[in-house]
Amino acid sequence: MIFNETCMQMKTRHKQDFPSPRTQRGVGLIEVLVAVLILGVGLLGIAAMQATALRNSQSSLERSQAVMQTYSILDAMRANVAVARIGGYNLTSMTCSQPDAGTLAANDLRAWIGSIKGSLNDSACGQINCGSQDCEISVQWDDSRAGSSDETNKDTHTVITRTRL
């Protein structure tokens, strides 16, 4: 009889510990909705990170192109060093349009400005200031897609290369 009473007590406790299926209705659906919401927010975060990475990658490519363009005009200037040292390659202000063809230096500058516009974008400009030995070459372009934090020149980036001929 003791065994029978113990089994009865266990059965009654067991029923009291777990609510009936009627009181649990909809709980599974709420859990699924919360999981879908969390998954959606996570996927939006991943998409935003991907867009930022793509934008930064494009900006990095443009900076690399600008550096390569400065080295290409430097190579042309070193091939014609006598004219470069007397200022034959100088563009005293930011030049955005291709100079007229003519001398070797003018042809090099025309090809350089065209190459800058081809590799960066149509807003790209170049500037060259050379003395007898030292040279400074600047390439400037619109990089509004990069979303710079600098408020004064938000859309433009400039790469400056200083060297000796």
Within-domain flag for 139:
yes
Q: How many helices (H) and strands (E) does the chain have?
A: 4, 4
Strands 125-130 and 156-164: unpaired
Within-domain flag for 7:
no
**Each residue's pLDDT tens digit, 121-160:** 888 999 999 888 889 999 999 887 766 555 555 678 899 9
Query: Per DSSP, what are the bridge partners of residue 30?
Result: none
Burial (Cβ within 10 Å: 0-12, 13-18, ≥19) of residue 125:
buried
Token output for 133? 């030995």
Angstrom distance (rounded) from CA 17 to CA 6:
17
Within-domain flag for 116:
yes
Binning pLDDT at 50, 70 and 90, where does residue 3 land? low
- Segments forming the whole domain that contains residue 119: 31-164
How many domains does the structure of the chain reveal? 1
Within-domain flag for 21:
no
- In the block, residue with structure tokens 């030049």: 95
Q: Hey, is 164 helix, strand or coil?
A: strand
Binning pLDDT at 50, 70 and 90, where does residue 67 land? very high
Within-domain flag for 22:
no
Within-domain flag for 92:
yes
Within-domain flag for 5:
no
Within-domain flag for 155:
yes
**Each residue's pLDDT tens digit, 111-130:** 999 999 999 888 899 999 98
